[in-house]
Structure 1
Amino acid sequence: MKKIFSINPISDISFKSPSILGSVIAVVGLHGYFIFTAFGSLYNLIICAIALFLLPSPYPVLIKKLRLILKNNEIERVGVSKLLNVYKKNEKLYLGTGFKWQPRHLRLLQEQLDAGFDQLSSKRHGSFAIHNLDLNNGKDLLMSVSDLNLHTIIFGTTGAGKTRLFDLLVSQAIVRGDTVIVIDPKSDADLQKKIALTAAHCSRDLNLHVLDLAKTQHSSALNPLGTFLRSSEVASRITSLMPDTGNSQSFKAHAHSAITAAVTALRIKGEFITLKNILNELDHQDLYPLILEKFIKEIRENLNDASVNEFCKQLEASEKLLNNSELKAFVSNKTNSRKDGGSLLFKLEKIYGYLCNNGLINTDGDILTLMSVAKMDQGYYQKVTASVMPCIRTLCGADLNSLLSSEDLSKQHTFEKIAANNGIFYASLNCLSDPVLGGYLSKLLLADLCAFAGKLYTQSQYRSEIAQKISVFIDESSEAAGESMVQLLNKSRGADFAVTIATQTFADLVKRTGSEAAARQIIGNCNNKISLRLKDMQTAKLFTESLPVTVEPIRSSSISFSESPSDLDVNYGVNRSITMQKCPLFPAEALQYFPDLEFVAALADGNLVKGRLPLVDIH
């Protein structure tokens, strides 16, 4: 009778379950018998009423299961008003509905995995059994907003719901009043629409800026080189776009010097540092001596130092410079491509050295690089810049100059301006149509964000001017994976950055970063980990490795026997044992059975939750 009246709560909502069928048949039969006999006498009626009251009933569980059946294929929708109310009431982040995952759920799930998932959802690509392990699975899942600064990574296969989770997270960042920066390599139209509608609902639509590479005529302009302190920073960002293998690797250091020189020349001339201007400046190495001459002349005029003027006069008058042996060696050096400018560079180098050695000015490494590149052989210079020119030209297409190299300050945006105005920025990179351009731009945007975070982190006075949290969202993060992403995750918390990234598989990160160690470094810097459905077991195991551990029973048995040579007796024995083995709180193989929009999340506060995402509904 115990088996008849016990209902297995882990069965995948099916009325074909033997335990449920047995309970239903037994209880309905007994109820029918009692009700039929109750009309015989008052005594029978009292006995039947007591029996019905005391008899174990499956009805409550059946009703709950029936309600879950009706709800399973229904996708919950949540409005911006509810998101706003949740934040105002709790100052928490809403992650959908679900329950806290505990060891008892793991035991039930192990039994379900052994029995198999026989009921799959044709609409949602998975089984609802895992979420139904707890019948009270409709509780609101809330997360501390402050934990977002510890960064978040989202795993999920194609179609599992990563972008819909971005809808929920980005909408709440807008509702909270954060400065929001979204980098979307795949250009999801629904995500862009949700951002625009949420911004309008919160009266922030005037501060929304959209950079769309597929619709350049309707896009906002943004300078991806907007924040830097030294010319070499810009050079590092651009050369990071070059491949690290083949001939490009051998020229990468020299290309870095050439770009540093070009940016330094632009700064001396007082021109905007844009991709287009850098490209133009790289073609005019022959003008670098004249730019340096102007620079040295301005320093001399500002100093107005008698000793400097006297040194320059002596330098010009000493033994007719053209016959000077030191000058002859300088001019005839094969690394000096411009013999006619050799004497000028010689004088400028001597004067600059005098100014630095005597403490009149501080030595500037970028100026020394400019001098070095100015002396470089023209043929060799063209070779070292040939490897980086294609990267810059890709970012300087005819329709891109107005977006990425605009010099109109009223239209050009930078991340500093966006943060200062508490704005919202959405970059649609259209990587499906042009993966090379989208990949280049995503890396430049991340590098600029790193520089901006560094400025906030090191300059407390500047940080006080930007009071809002800066929420950064990077979908399909493998397109932008690299050193800049590692730095952003590793060091931006002090600048009040909250970074959320999404990827499909661990292999995607490994391929883009170039090593498994770098990919693990990205994942390790994210304290909040969320997994939707995963078909790749390497990624699933990587996710579950970081979860809290519990113990599971491992049952084993062995049978032994022996025969006596002297008689026909057979001795045998049976050994049974149960050992407890440590295992993750959620098994990796179960992640492949998640329906769309279902997830498990390991939060920074130590909690593990099983949840179901709603769709953001904006009217």
Structure 2
Amino acid sequence: MSDAFDNRLRPVVEFLPGAVFITGAAMLYAAPSTFFPILPGLAQVTALVFAGLGGWRLWQGWRVCRYQGYLRRLPRYVLNADQVPVSWHKLFLGRGFRWDQRHTQRLVESRHPQAQRYLQPGKLYQAARRTEIRLERSPLLSWLPRLTRRDSGWNPLRPLPPVGGAPALHGVGTEEETDIWMDIGERVGHKLVLGTTRVGKTRLLEILVTQDIRRGDVVICFDPKGDIDLLRRMHAEARRAGRLDQFHIFHLGFPDISERYNPVGDFARITEVASRIATQLPSEGNSAAFREFAWRFTNVVARALVGLGRRPDYHTIARYVTNIEPLLTDYFHLWLDKEAPADWKQAVQRIEGNLNEKILPMALRGREFHAIALTRYAKENHLFDPVADGLRSAFEYDKTYFDKLTASLLPLLEKLTSGRIGALLSPDYKDGSDRRPILDWMRVIREQGIVYVGLDALTDAEVAGAVGNSMFADLTSIAGQLYKHGDTQGLPMLDGHTSVKKTIHADEFNELIGNEFIPLLNKAGGAGFQVTAYTQTASDIEAGIGDRAKAGQITGNLNTLIMLRVKNEITARTLTDQLPKARVYTKLAASQVTDNNDPGTSTDFTTRNEDRLTETEMDMLTPADLVQLPKGQAFALLEGGQLYKLRLPLPGSDPLLPKDMEAIRRERLAFYGMEHG
């Protein structure tokens, strides 16, 4: 029981006996005959023993000093870009240690009131900070604050790193610190990274993306904010790995260098087109009925376009939502040419010539007579086609009623088809003057590409969400094809399943998820997809998907959990509720005095002092611990619930990092073969 305490939060008493032993060893070695005149050789042996004992005691004292120092300030941890370790079988996460009962015990001890003097900076440190504030505007002594603020090892008064939190959370195990790796095979179970803003999520993303790029995986990074630093990092790593020709940029904030992308152009089932658009519409309360109508109408348009041999896109769908007559006319002509008698055109002309605007139903007044004649001819001749019937049904809706039903659909489509964004999301496949490539996920996977997706959500969150969700739905559809056929389907002599890993990093995950994303998590592992999702709180997922049960499905499929500093107790309990209890020892000082009433003895009273150790069961971590995490630090549940404490390296130098966005722009335009202007 006495070994339950490290007992290192105390004055360092080891240095005194260590110094005495070393002094005695020096004296015995310098003058052996003075102490052992008969056996001087024994003096040298004794000096050696004293030196060993002294060294041992000094080393013990140094360990105590080092431990106390780590509770206040951690050693600096920086990795240059080319120093990030990469393995084919393991994934590097940072430096840290496996957390167990001992560290919970040390953390409890560090929070004892008597231990606070070992955790707080000394009086000289506090005086230096006060002096800096007073002298920073002094014309004569302004050099002194610059000197005391300098972050250098020779400066004992340098400020603590601006990371906040409680350094003791990592200091209790820093002496055991080593590189932390997780098995690469665990990534197919997907990973969830939680942390509030500006605490290191993007830095962790950079470390993981760096390894994925160098390992040769297919890497797809979704960045709703459009972080330029992350784009620069991926560009530099693609260059370092010799994969710059495989690097693709899709960025709604910089359409001039972005590859074009048709979010509804590729699908396994035609109904996916309508689902990708209708998913973005509100579904609460009465809005659900309007959403279902929008889905049905969009599906009719998409089926007609595919039937005509045209690829659906936002622009064409928006065009025919507001004016369905041209699409109806084109489809009916194609259909009737195949199914109707040879003289159907003459019959339609006769019906058209007999139409009278005044006797038409209200819903058809103002419509083109030719379109009306086509629908009447098909009805009178009992011709049926499901797509044609859907077009007829939409055509015959009252215009006012139809506008109400599509009131939420039209504004969304207008946002997705306006300006330069519209040209980006509805690419003209026949326009040879536009040299920007068209992003195709299957081609990216086959060439083992790297894709950065910047959605510019700060400018227009609705457009960003619609495009991001459509991309996830597209990838889910691709995963289904890969699961069945591999990535070589359709290529000669190459049919078969693929072993290439497809790694998806989804920052601000809650802005991207939709119903289509759930199958990507729980079924796409067999297709080689491995997802790392980054968000701020556990509630963000429920808010993003709009359903608690579905949010539970998503989190239940994210098997590895990494949690940085959070500000929400519910989020913190996502980790702490999965941990076992720990047996912790507490020390209670007891003092007792007993009077002696026997006049026949010389003893007036007796005293008793003792330290009592009690064992209690408590949480291995509490939500408060996760709230106090410094920036760049995290707890991780890896490989079946093993708890690790991590800290991330600060970024070092990188000569390949582009200077700014303009440097990337010039390079991408040159890559596309476009003149820089």
State the partner residue of 1:481.
Answer: 513
Aligned partner letter, 1:440 = A
Structure-2 change in CA distance of 1:61 and 1:8 (3 Å):
farther
Q: What's the secondary structure of 2:645's corresponding residue? A: strand
Alignment check: 8 A CA contact 1:10 1:129 kept = no
The alignment status of 1:83 with 2:85, answered yes or no, reads: yes
Structure-2 change in CA distance of 1:137 and 1:78 (3 Å):
farther
Alignment check: 8 A CA contact 2:320 2:327 kept = no
What are structure 2's unaligned runs of at least 5 residues?
Answer: 37-41, 122-159, 353-358, 490-494, 589-611, 656-677
Structure-2 change in CA distance of 1:468 and 1:616 (3 Å):
farther
Deviates more, 1:219-228 or 1:514-523: 514-523
Alignment check: 8 A CA contact 2:328 2:388 kept = no
Structure-2 change in CA distance of 1:343 and 1:222 (3 Å):
closer
Aligned partner letter, 2:413 = I
> Displacement of 1:196 after TM fit?
0.3
What are structure 1's unaligned runs of at least 5 residues?
Answer: 12-16, 301-307, 323-330, 357-363, 558-575
State the partner residue of 2:426.
Answer: 405
The CA distance in 2 between the partners of 1:78 and 1:9, in whole Å, is 36
Q: What's the secondary structure of 1:552's corresponding residue? A: strand
The CA distance in 2 between the partners of 1:113 and 1:259, in whole Å, is 62
Aligned partner letter, 1:23 = E
Q: What's the secondary structure of 1:125's corresponding residue? A: coil
State the partner residue of 2:49.
Answer: 50
The CA distance in 2 between the partners of 1:490 and 1:334, in whole Å, is 50
The CA distance in 2 between the partners of 1:452 and 1:536, in whole Å, is 36
The alignment status of 1:449 with 2:463, answered yes or no, reads: no
Aligned partner letter, 2:552 = R
> Displacement of 1:466 after TM fit?
4.9
The CA distance in 2 between the partners of 1:259 and 1:500, in whole Å, is 32
The alignment status of 1:344 with 2:344, answered yes or no, reads: no
The CA distance in 1 between the partners of 2:425 and 2:507, in whole Å, is 21
* Alignment map for 1:490-505 (pairs within 5 Å): 490-505=522-537
The CA distance in 2 between the partners of 1:61 and 1:7, in whole Å, is 19
Aligned partner letter, 1:59 = W
Alignment check: 8 A CA contact 1:406 1:412 kept = yes
The CA distance in 2 between the partners of 1:278 and 1:514, in whole Å, is 26
Question: Which of residues 227, 230, 245 in structure 1 aligns to 2:269?
Answer: 230
Question: For each residue in 1:179-206, what CA deviation from the matched residue of structure 2 results, as whole angstroms up to 9, or x when unmatched?
Answer: 1111101222221111001001111111
Alignment check: 8 A CA contact 2:499 2:528 kept = no
State the partner residue of 1:183.
Answer: 222
Aligned partner letter, 1:93 = L
Structure-2 change in CA distance of 1:577 and 1:104 (3 Å):
closer
Question: For each residue in 1:321-370, what CA deviation from the matched residue of structure 2 results, as whole angstroms up to 9, or x when unmatched?
Answer: 99xxxxxxxx987776759555532543577866x8xxxxxxx5x55533
* Alignment map for 1:464-479 (pairs within 5 Å): 464=496, 466-479=498-511
Structure-2 change in CA distance of 1:298 and 1:500 (3 Å):
farther
Alignment check: 8 A CA contact 2:325 2:368 kept = no
State the partner residue of 2:415.
Answer: 394
Alignment check: 8 A CA contact 1:182 1:473 kept = yes
Aligned partner letter, 2:98 = K
The alignment status of 1:510 with 2:502, answered yes or no, reads: no
Task: Percent identity, please.
Answer: 26
Question: Which of residues 15, 28, 35 in structure 1 aligns to 2:19?
Answer: 28
Q: What's the secondary structure of 2:463's corresponding residue? A: helix
Structure-2 change in CA distance of 1:335 and 1:112 (3 Å):
farther
The CA distance in 1 between the partners of 2:7 and 2:458, in whole Å, is 42
The alignment status of 1:41 with 2:35, answered yes or no, reads: yes
> Displacement of 1:372 after TM fit?
2.7
* Alignment map for 1:197-596 (pairs within 5 Å): 197-245=236-284, 248-300=287-339, 340=369, 341-342=371-372, 344-348=374-378, 368-408=389-429, 411-460=437-486, 462=489, 464=496, 466-547=498-579, 549-553=580-584, 581=617, 583=619, 585-596=620-631
> Displacement of 1:498 after TM fit?
0.6
Structure-2 change in CA distance of 1:162 and 1:82 (3 Å):
closer
Alignment check: 8 A CA contact 2:104 2:582 kept = no
> Displacement of 1:54 after TM fit?
4.2
> Displacement of 1:82 after TM fit?
4.9
Q: What's the secondary structure of 2:193's corresponding residue? A: strand
Alignment check: 8 A CA contact 2:18 2:53 kept = no
The CA distance in 2 between the partners of 1:185 and 1:474, in whole Å, is 9
The CA distance in 2 between the partners of 1:136 and 1:349, in whole Å, is 84
Aligned partner letter, 1:96 = G
Alignment check: 8 A CA contact 1:296 1:348 kept = no
Question: For each residue in 1:120-178, what CA deviation from the matched residue of structure 2 results, as whole angstroms up to 9, or x when unmatched?
Answer: 84422133322232354332211111211110010112221100000011111111111
State the partner residue of 1:18.
Answer: 10
Alignment check: 8 A CA contact 1:64 1:135 kept = no
Structure-2 change in CA distance of 1:132 and 1:275 (3 Å):
same
Q: What's the secondary structure of 1:481's corresponding residue? A: coil
Question: For each residue in 1:181-234, what CA deviation from the matched residue of structure 2 results, as whole angstroms up to 9, or x when unmatched?
Answer: 111012222211110010011111111111222222122212222321333211
State the partner residue of 2:664.
Answer: none
Give the TM-score of the pair, scaled to structure 1: 0.80
The CA distance in 2 between the partners of 1:367 and 1:52, in whole Å, is 98
Q: What's the secondary structure of 2:473's corresponding residue? A: helix
> Displacement of 1:527 after TM fit?
0.6
> Displacement of 1:288 after TM fit?
4.4
* Alignment map for 1:61-72 (pairs within 5 Å): 62=62, 66=66, 72=74
Question: Which of residues 90, 97, 101 in structure 1 aligns to 2:95?
Answer: 97
Alignment check: 8 A CA contact 1:420 1:465 kept = no
Alignment check: 8 A CA contact 1:226 1:448 kept = no
The CA distance in 1 between the partners of 2:587 and 2:109, in whole Å, is 16
Aligned partner letter, 2:10 = P
> Displacement of 1:616 after TM fit?
5.2
Alignment check: 8 A CA contact 2:192 2:532 kept = yes
> Displacement of 1:546 after TM fit?
2.9
Q: What's the secondary structure of 1:130's corresponding residue? A: helix
Structure-2 change in CA distance of 1:447 and 1:71 (3 Å):
same
The alignment status of 1:125 with 2:119, answered yes or no, reads: no
Alignment check: 8 A CA contact 2:483 2:497 kept = no
> Displacement of 1:287 after TM fit?
3.1
Aligned partner letter, 2:440 = T
Structure-2 change in CA distance of 1:577 and 1:199 (3 Å):
closer
Question: For each residue in 1:555-606, what CA deviation from the matched residue of structure 2 results, as whole angstroms up to 9, or x when unmatched?
Answer: 899xxxxxxxxxxxxxxxxxx99676474x4433222232222222111344
Aligned partner letter, 1:192 = L
RMSD: 3.8
Alignment check: 8 A CA contact 1:264 1:370 kept = no
- Work out which structure has the larger RCO, using CA pairs closer than 8 Å and 6 or more positions apart in sequence: 1
Structure-2 change in CA distance of 1:442 and 1:114 (3 Å):
farther
> Displacement of 1:9 after TM fit?
5.3
Q: What's the secondary structure of 1:608's corresponding residue? A: strand
Q: What's the secondary structure of 2:644's corresponding residue? A: strand
> Displacement of 1:381 after TM fit?
1.9
Q: What's the secondary structure of 2:523's corresponding residue? A: helix
Give the TM-score of the pair, scaled to structure 2: 0.73
